[in-house]
A and B are shown apart, each in its own frame.
Chain A
Amino acid sequence: MKQKFNIITSTCVPLPLENVDTDQIIPARFLKATTKEGFGENLFRDWRYDKEGNKIASFVLNDPTYGGQILVAGKNFGSGSSREHAAWAIADYGFRVVVSSFFADIHKNNELNNFVLPVVVTEGFLAELFDTIFKNPKAEVEVNLPEQTITNKATGKSEHFEINAYKKDCLINGLDDIDYLLANKSKIEAYEAKR
């Protein structure tokens, strides 16, 4: 799970829907596992497969035209349930970055805690990026975490994105919050003592 993150250059998978909730990313009936592995198989299950388990050809993950490590989605991505299984499914499928103009809070944290980078771009950048991908599915995007920039290489348009310094450091160094918290346990005990 802990993968160091630096610069990713990749083609993109476009999902121009808004309010994609975590029930769509991974439906509840697939949450019964007790490990983190294998959720990618059921990523977007009910959009990807019909009732009989056949692939729905029109859904983007089944369209060989598109591929890559970057998922580009409409605004308010990851709303609803807090299930981290959604982030596990995205990571397990092979995405390292999700680009949207807006993310739901809990899901955004869950992505970060699984070394998937949520990149918030402006509505304009997002619309143009969808346009680029649909015109040329081989078009690449560069996501540079150290510089905090995302570049649509086809148009040359680049944007700065926000990430707090602590999380950026965790991603670049492959560290998680528990590593940090365990190193600071004395502070917790001191806090409890003075309550």
Chain B
Amino acid sequence: MSKTLFEKIWDKHVVDTLADGTIQLYIDRLYCHEVTSPQAFAGLRARGLKPFRPQQITCMPDHNIPTLHQDQPIQDPISKNQVDTLEKNAKDFGLTYYGLQHPKNGIIHVVGPETGLTQPGMTIVCGDSHTSTHGAMGAIAFGIGTSEVEMTLATQCIMQRKPKTMRITIDGQRKPGVTAKDIALYIISRMSTSGATGYFVEYAGEAIRNTTMEERLTICNLSIEMGARGGMIAPDEVTFAYLKDREFAPRGEAWDKKVNEWRELYSDPDAQFDKEIVYHAEDIEPMVTYGTNPGMGMGIRETIPSLESVDEAGRISYQKSLAYMGFQAGEPMLGKPVDYVFLGSCTNGRIEDFRAFASLVKGKKKADNVIAWLVPGSWQVEHQIHAEGIDKILTEAGFELRQPGCSACLAMNEDKIPAGKYAVSTSNRNFEGRQGPGARTILAGPLVAAAAAVTGKITDPRELL
């Protein structure tokens, strides 16, 4: 029987199916960070249990950690306690732990793929909605709550309903100056933040096939922002070339055997999806958001939609959103002043994002009105930035690099955008207060962020390339 990519992997991980269709799903990898795991470990202790398969669990702090002076103790005692709690839990239960300043520390969704812990065909969960990132390597990866983290710790299984399947095909070729982030923001702007709720999405089509591995990670990362349980891309030569020789990737004969298995991971030509959507890469422009959810995005040269274009039931929310942002319907975004620029996060904190940012700011100067936070997604990315001399380009243009972590994406550490200030951010959410109470976030890709950083306003990066 023909199957989708999703079904091929899912079916192999079904331990049991209950009479009502609820599935006991086996999990290959559990990633734990400090924010969503302490109550799970506490629950485990309260039940007198230990992790069932400790070798399938990897822990690292990323949300609370400062991006300056990581060699010193964390200043905020509550943040420090949360990080220390993860370290203690990992130590007590014999789990792999990459703490602050460990060469493999970083944002968990950057570290998983770059170390080869994430592999095609796996089921991967983490108490974090951006776990969808790992689907880019041809895995089923999705975010779960803390109760489900506890279930996975205790039994390496979770109870799930099988999601519906959706294929989003992007055909054609994208235009110069359009990044993976722009593709994702375009899709979400069409789908809305709930358009894929209940579905697991496979991205396909020529424009997707032609992406790099890191671009795929960006696209799958944002799947949750349209409500999807996860997103995935069939593994291919791009995936295998990226994964080969990474630390935890199989080697020698084991590698060859695995690659042969992974080559079977694609949706059969006549496989049925519950929903099919097609977009054209030529229609995609560099994107920015103008509102307070990631679905409120538009091409950078367009104007903010009118109130009349919004469904009646959604108009109160729409007006509240624009009022929060200090924007008017019908206005252009081009030329709007920017106070902060944030390059980083599990969405756009990888080496290619730093290369893209550097390519645009090279030979230019940071605008005086802009404070820029450039935060690598991991220490491995940070080392690569130095190895390639990108740090010199950035320094000459007036930028400084910070140390790896989630940082201003959700502002759990000190990196908070002040109330009322505008931040062009390469992260994933522009919710009210996401980057600090009262902060106003404009989501964009690394090129739009770079253009804003050197001009001090919303600028079409294609004018500067």
Chain A positions near chain B (C-beta within 8 angstroms): 16-19, 21, 23-24, 27-29, 31-36, 46, 51, 74-76, 79-85, 87, 102-106, 109-110, 113-114, 123, 127, 164-167, 176-178, 180-182, 184-185, 187-188, 191-192
Q: Is the CB of A21 within 8 A of B147?
A: no
Q: Which residues of B contact A165 (CB under 8 A)?
A: 18-20, 22
26 contacts between A and B (CB under 8 A): A18-B313, A19-B293, A19-B317, A23-B410, A24-B431, A24-B432, A31-B35, A31-B63, A32-B35, A33-B38, A75-B194, A76-B194, A79-B194, A79-B293, A82-B127, A84-B127, A105-B197, A105-B227, A105-B229, A110-B145, A110-B146, A164-B161, A165-B20, A178-B151, A187-B15, A188-B24
Q: Beyond A84-B145, A182-B155: 20 further Cβ-contacts under 8 Å?
A: A17-B317, A18-B313, A19-B295, A29-B437, A32-B76, A34-B39, A36-B39, A46-B433, A51-B419, A80-B431, A82-B143, A104-B197, A106-B229, A127-B313, A166-B159, A176-B147, A182-B154, A185-B52, A187-B15, A188-B15
Interface residues on B, range: 35 or more
Contacts of B411 in A (CB 8 A): 28-29
- A102:B143 contact, CB within 8 angstroms: no
Instruction: A192 to B194: give the CA distance in the assembly, Å.
Output: 36
B437-A80 in contact (CB<8A):
no
- Enumerate chain B residues within 8 angstroms of A110, measured Cβ to Cβ: 145-147
List B contacts of A109 (CB < 8 A): 144-145, 148
- Cβ contact within 8 Å between A34 and B81: yes
Interface residues of B in 16-31 (CB under 8 A from A): 16, 18-22, 24, 26
Select A32's contact among B18, B143, B412, beta carbons within 8 Å: B412
CB-nearest residue of chain A relative to B310?
A18
Closest to A47 in B: B432
B20 near A166: Cβ-Cβ < 8 Å: yes
A31 touches B412 (CB 8 A): yes
Q: Which A residues lie within 8 Å of B109 (CB)?
A: none
Contact B24 A106 (CB under 8 A): no
Cβ < 8 Å to A, chain B residues 28-82: 35-36, 38-39, 42-43, 47, 49, 52, 63-64, 76, 78-79, 81-82
Q: Which chain A residues border B198 with CB–CB below 8 Å?
A: 105
Contact string against A for B residues 195-230, beta-carbon threshold 8 Å, 1 for contact and 0 otherwise: 001100000000000000000000000001101010
